[in-house]
């Protein structure tokens, strides 16, 4: 059958380029390997020339393939399964890039994209290390190409192509029996992008994070090259700017993810020890440990073995983390994890082909790696820098082992679990890591290599120590840091960690202006340490002083089969009703939906009761995609220099589906009788003839009666309902009275006799537009983001300085 409207050329070209990339990367790997082992300069140059040519073809193929995939998605060519499955025609154009890395194939392509760029830069700057380093890089490119090639060898599928046609993915679907299947709404509209990825952070966070992933291969490749060529320490100075770059960009990517989680997820913060968060944090911690031991070696000759080990482990844990998050084993424990795409066996082979030879080579060469037999002096900089690196490594192990429980359980048949409180097992260890790292970050800059006199250290640190004690004690006391969720012991650890973090901030700031005499070009490490410590202060304060503003002391919507399960940290707001929210008055003003109905925005006006502040929040609910029912929430925040007011909608009547099935129940009563409803009761107090008040304007010429009912809620509130029955144009009419807070509609529907009236009562959650809003306050959270910026700035300053020193 000849299908109408298909654009097959881009896909055919893209698939050809992936095959070309596979072949070229294999040729580059072999040629660089030959160049590395060549015994004559002529053979070396000849093989290297071929290797460069092949790698440039590989890089060009990958970059062009990436562009073709974006072209297909942006033009909504839904004849391609990847474009159909990860986007739709209503998608905001700025999220089209996010569609690339929503799927496994696009994510691996993005990884190969960055490795191509890094490889080109290494060719330009590698000098004598180009051949062995690029052998590793080219082999990694080959492995990535196998994951996106999407071909069958006999009955074995290798990789998954992003250029697979939709009709090939669903071969038996009836829609493809028509030549014009692309005009069918289900195909033409697209399956959509995951609602959680429709956030501007997801346009920039994944590319930066994947650049961080890709960058870890460079220090790894240098370390492997040093072991391979038995030039164990000759690579460390040339590789230092690269490892600093990896530490900077990887850390930035992780914190961008934290910012995305803060703005798009609703676990109440920027970090929840989610397995995928952990999987990215662990290799970064080890990379930072490696950077410090690398500096130690360049300055003193110590810690070369540790440097090799840390850089090798950092990259290997990136690979392991990739498998962990893309194998499907974490899909039930993480909002980030992918489902099994059928490539697990390939990823296992990839892991085996890189992990096993790397560790075997390290173990085989370990004793040959130069080391200084004499141990470092206890009061030397290199000793405590090594201790700090070791603590970072142990911290990483304490994170990755519990994170790997699903894998361990799957392999060994165990039933290891973290527990109901998933944060505490990590927090109880990492809080002490924060204490150690904070103190070492404070004193490390003042220690000298080889040896440091006690008198010098005391003189330099005395005032910083005193100031830190006073400042941290003031924060603890006046800031009322009394986080006792995990007991008094954990609270004491928080105060200790707060002191350590403040100590690091003050000591590093003092060192910049005294120890370095304001020489900013040499202050990169101090600025990075200052930023890290400031970030740590922000984490401790914002986490321990996080406050729920929307505490709901009673639940007025606890009725009916479809009541929102909002708990006691959500406040129910009825549209137009000014509601008490602790220190604030909150008013749900209105809501508005996008033209396609996929996003519903809510305007909530907030006003402090003391009149000192007014602002508006605009949280929204976005319709779930990928066949999921219901809505997901996107938070909104009000930013201040010293706090954030963070809000999100848990439930709203505006987006409820279906019809209201609640029915009126009729009760014949006389004055003084009691009527019961599910959340309280009401009493008919009296009857008024021809009422004339603020609500009703009847006169003596009318025929109307009003029932006066007192309504008593289970929260001991007393409300009033005043339904009216009247006759007009010889017909009976009645006016309902609605108690929105109770979900009650009350009517006086007829006069039964001279003493009895018929009162009709309906209970429903849909009588009035309402939403369940959760509002949190994060004090001094901006210290987290400011500290991140300064930490990355310090890395950049160090990179610039090291590059200039190499020229």
Residue listed under structure tokens 């990884």: 111
**What are the DSSP E strand ranges found in 512-583?**
547-548, 571-574, 578-581
Secondary structure in 3-state letters for 780-804: CCHHHHHHHHHHHHHHHHHHHHHHH
- Compute φ and ψ for 39, nearest 5 degrees: -95, -15
Distance in angstroms (rounded) separating the CA atoms of residues 111 and 537 = 33
> Which pLDDT score, from 0 to 100, does residue 422 have?
80
Query: Beta 680-689 vs 703-713: how paired, if at all?
Result: antiparallel
Range name among 92-101, 198-207, 553-562, 701-710 with the lowest pLDDT average: 553-562
Residue 788 has pLDDT above 50, yes or no: yes
Instruction: Give the closest residue to 765 by CA, choosing from 679, 672, 638.
Output: 679
CA atoms within 13 A on the CB side of 682: 28
Where residue 293 falls among pLDDT bands split at 50, 70, 90?
A: very high
pLDDT digits (tens, 9 = 90+) for 578-619: 888 888 999 999 988 877 778 899 999 999 999 889 999 999
Name the β-bridge partners of 739.
744
> Which pLDDT score, from 0 to 100, does residue 69 have?
97
pLDDT digits (tens, 9 = 90+) for 505-551: 999 999 998 877 778 888 999 999 999 999 999 999 988 888 888 87
Distance in angstroms (rounded) separating the CA atoms of residues 28 and 35 = 10
pTM for this structure? 0.85
Residue 195 has pLDDT above 90, yes or no: no
Question: Are the C-beta atoms of residues 65 and 21 closer than 8 Å to each other?
Answer: yes
Instruction: Give the closest residue to 529 by CA, choosing from 257, 247, 301, 217.
Output: 247
Which sign, positive or negative, has the C-alpha torsion 792, 797, 800, 806?
Answer: negative
For residue 650, give the H/E element and its range: strand 643-652
Residue 360 has pLDDT above 90, yes or no: yes
Could you tell me the residue ranges of all domains in the chain? 1-198, 207-418, 423-545+780-807, 571-658+770-779, 665-763
pLDDT digits (tens, 9 = 90+) for 104-141: 999 999 999 999 999 999 999 988 999 999 999 999 99
Distance in angstroms (rounded) separating the CA atoms of residues 184 and 164 = 19
Residue 326 has pLDDT above 60, yes or no: yes
In this structure, the number of other CB atoms found within 10 A of the CB of residue 336 comes to 17
First to last CA, the chain: 64
Distance in angstroms (rounded) separating the CA atoms of residues 271 and 202 = 16
Structure tokens at 750: 């007829």
Residue 650 has pLDDT above 80, yes or no: yes
Question: Are the C-beta atoms of residues 287 and 214 closer than 8 Å to each other?
Answer: no
> Which pLDDT score, from 0 to 100, does residue 554 have?
46
More confident residue, 266 or 356: 356
Question: Are the C-beta atoms of residues 708 and 702 closer than 8 Å to each other?
Answer: no
């Amino acid at each position: 059958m000849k299908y109408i409207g298909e654009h097959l050329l881009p896909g055919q070209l893209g698939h050809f380029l992936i095959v070309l990339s596979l072949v070229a990367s294999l040729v580059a790997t072999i040629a660089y390997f030959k160049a590395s082992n060549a015994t004559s300069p002529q053979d070396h140059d000849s093989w290297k020339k071929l290797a460069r040519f092949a790698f440039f073809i590989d890089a060009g193929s990958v970059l062009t393939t990436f562009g073709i995939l974006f072209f297909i998605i942006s033009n909504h060519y839904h004849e391609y399964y990847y474009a159909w499955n990860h986007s739709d025609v209503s998608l905001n154009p700025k999220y089209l890039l996010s569609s690339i890395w929503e799927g496994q194939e696009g994510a691996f392509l993005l990884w190969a994209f960055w490795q191509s760029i890094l490889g080109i830069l290494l060719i330009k700057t590698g000098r004598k290390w180009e051949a062995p380093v690029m052998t590793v890089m080219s082999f990694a490119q080959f492995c990535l190409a196998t994951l996106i090639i999407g071909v069958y060898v006999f009955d074995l599928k290798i990789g998954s192509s992003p250029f697979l046609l939709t009709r090939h993915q669903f071969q038996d679907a009836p829609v493809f029996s028509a030549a014009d299947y692309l005009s069918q709404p289900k195909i033409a509209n697209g399956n959509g992008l995951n609602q959680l990825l429709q956030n501007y952070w997801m346009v920039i966070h994944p590319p930066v994070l994947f650049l961080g992933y890709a960058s870890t291969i460079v220090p790894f490749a240098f370390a492997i090259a040093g072991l391979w060529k038995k030039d164990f320490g000759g690579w460390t100075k040339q590789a230092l700017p690269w490892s600093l770059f990896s530490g900077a960009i990887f850390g930035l990517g992780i914190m961008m993810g934290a910012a995305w989680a803060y703005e798009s997820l609703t676990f109440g913060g920027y970090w929840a020890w989610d397995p995928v968060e952990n999987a990215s944090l662990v290799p970064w911690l080890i990379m930072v440990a490696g950077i410090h031991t690398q500096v130690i070696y360049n300055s003193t000759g110590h810690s070369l073995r540790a440097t090799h080990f840390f850089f090798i482990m950092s990259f290997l844990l990136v690979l392991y983390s990739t498998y962990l998050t893309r194998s499907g084993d974490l899909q039930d424990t993480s909002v980030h994890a992918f489902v099994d795409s059928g490539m697990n066996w390939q990823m296992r082979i990839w892991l085996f082909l890189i992990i096993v030879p790397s560790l075997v080579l390290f173990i085989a060469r370990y004793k040959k790696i130069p080391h200084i037999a004499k141990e470092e002096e206890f009061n030397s900089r290199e000793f405590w820098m090594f201790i700090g690196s070791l603590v970072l490594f142990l911290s990483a192990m304490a994170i990755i082992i519990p994170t790997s429980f699903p894998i361990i359980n799957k392999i060994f048949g165990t039933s290891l679990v973290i527990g109901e409180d998933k944060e505490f097992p990590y927090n109880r260890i990492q809080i002490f890591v924060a204490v150690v790292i904070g103190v070492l970050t404070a004193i490390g800059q003042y220690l000298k290599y080889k040896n440091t006199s006690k008198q010098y250290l005391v003189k330099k640190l005395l005032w910083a120590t005193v100031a830190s004690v006073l400042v941290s004690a003031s924060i603890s006391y006046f800031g009322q840091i009394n986080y006792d969720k995990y007991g008094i012991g954990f609270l004491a650890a928080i105060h200790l960690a707060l002191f350590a973090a403040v100590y690091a901030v003050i000591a590093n700031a003092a060192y910049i202006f005294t120890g370095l005499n304001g020489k900013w070009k040499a202050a990169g490490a101090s600025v990075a340490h200052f930023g890290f410590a400031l970030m740590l202060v922000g984490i401790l304060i914002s986490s321990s002083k996080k406050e729920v503003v929307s505490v709901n002391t009673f639940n007025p919507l606890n009725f009916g089969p479809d009541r929102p399960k909002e708990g006691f940290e959500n406040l129910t707001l009825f549209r137009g009703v000014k509601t008490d929210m602790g220190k604030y008055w909150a008013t749900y003003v209105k809501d508005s939906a996008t033209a396609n109905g996929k996003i519903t925005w809510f305007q909530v006006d907030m006003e402090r009761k003391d009149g000192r502040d007014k602002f508006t929040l605009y949280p929204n609910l976005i319709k779930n995609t990928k066949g999921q029912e219901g809505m997901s929430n996107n938070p909104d925040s009000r930013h201040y220099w010293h706090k954030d007011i963070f809000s999100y909608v848990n439930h709203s009547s505006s987006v409820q589906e279906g019809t209201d099935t609640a029915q009126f129940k009729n009760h014949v009563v006389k004055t003084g009788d009691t009527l019961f409803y599910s959340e309280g009761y009401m009493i008919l107090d009296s009857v008024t003839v021809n009422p004339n008040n603020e609500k009703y304007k009847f006169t003596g010429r009318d025929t109307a009666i009003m029932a006066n009912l007192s309504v008593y809620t289970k929260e001991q509130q007393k409300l009033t309902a005043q339904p009216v029955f009247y006759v007009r144009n010889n017909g009976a009419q009645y006016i309902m009275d609605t108690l929105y807070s109770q979900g009650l509609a009350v009517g006086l529907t007829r006069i039964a006799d001279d003493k009895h009236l018929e009162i009709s009562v309906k209970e429903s959650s849909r009588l009035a537009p309402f939403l369940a809003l959760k509002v949190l306050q994060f004090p001094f959270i901006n210290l987290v983001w400011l500290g991140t910026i300064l930490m990355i700035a310090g890395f950049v300053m160090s990179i610039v300085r090291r590059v200039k020193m190499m020229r």
